[in-house]
Amino acid sequence: MKRKGTAPTMKDVAKEAGVSLGTVSKVFNQIPVGESYRLSVEAAAQKLGYQVNNYARGLKTNKTQTVALILPMLQHPFFSALAEHLTVALTCRDYRALLAVTNFDLQAEQRCIDMVRQNKVDGIIALTYHPDLRVDEGLPFVSIDRYFGTTIPCVSADNFGGGYLAGEKLVEAGCRNLLFLRSGSRVVGEPDKRQAGFGAFCSASGTPFEMLHLHDSNGLNPFYEYLDAHMVNGKLEFDGIFCNTDQLACQMRTHLERRGVCVPEDVQLIGFDGIRDFTSGKPVCSTIVQPIEQMAQMAVDVLLSSDSSRTSALINLPVRYESGGTTRDTEG
Which CATH number covers residue 47?
A: 1.10.260.40
Closest CA to 218 of 169, 184, 244, 254: 184
DSSP count for the chain of H helices, then E strands: 11, 14
131 and 89 in one domain? yes
Instruction: Compute the C-alpha angle 19/23/28, nearest 5°.
Output: 120
Residue 321 · residue 332 · CB < 8 Å: yes
Closest CA to 69 of 54, 79, 78, 55: 79
31 and 180 in one domain? no
282 and 165 in one domain? yes
In a domain, 133, yes or no: yes
Say what the pLDDT of residue 138 is: 81
pLDDT digits (tens, 9 = 90+) for 255-281: 999 999 999 999 999 999 999 998 999
In a domain, 92, yes or no: yes
Q: Which of 151-165, 225-239, 298-312 is predicted least confidently?
A: 298-312
125 and 198 in one domain? no
287 and 163 in one domain? yes
Q: How far apart are CA 283 and CA 273, in angstroms?
A: 10
In a domain, 328, yes or no: no
Name the strand (E) or helix (H) holding 212.
strand 209-215
In a domain, 2, yes or no: no
Percentage with pLDDT > 90 across the chain: 64
Pairing assessment for the beta strands 268-273 and 287-289 based on DSSP bridges: parallel
Domain count across the chain: 3
Number of CB atoms found within 10 A of residue 144's CB: 25
Q: How far apart are CA 323 and CA 284, in angstroms?
A: 10
Say what the pLDDT of residue 137 is: 81
257 and 184 in one domain? yes
**Residue 158 three-state SS:** coil
In a domain, 331, yes or no: no
What's the CATH code of the domain at 113? 3.40.50.2300
301 and 153 in one domain? yes
In a domain, 327, yes or no: no
pLDDT digits (tens, 9 = 90+) for 46-83: 888 887 765 555 545 567 889 999 999 998 899 999 99
Residue 151: band (very low, low, confident or very high) from pLDDT cuts 50, 70, 90: confident
267 and 165 in one domain? yes
- Three state DSSP letters for 48-83: HCCCCCHHHHHHHHCCCCEEEEEECCCCCHHHHHHH
Residue 169 · residue 324 · CB < 8 Å: no
Q: Which of 93-102, 208-217, 243-252 has the highest mean pLDDT?
A: 243-252
User: What range defines the domain where residue 16 resides?
Assistant: 10-61
251 and 188 in one domain? yes
305 and 187 in one domain? no
Residue 29 · residue 57 · CB < 8 Å: yes
Global confidence as pTM:
0.81
113 and 14 in one domain? no
In a domain, 214, yes or no: yes
In a domain, 245, yes or no: yes
249 and 105 in one domain? no
Q: How far apart are CA 230 and CA 260, in angstroms?
A: 14
Closest CA to 290 of 146, 200, 125, 161: 161
**Residue 332 three-state SS:** coil
Q: Of 25, 44, 61, at which residue does a domain stop?
A: 61
Report which of residues 52 and 309 the model is more confident about: 52
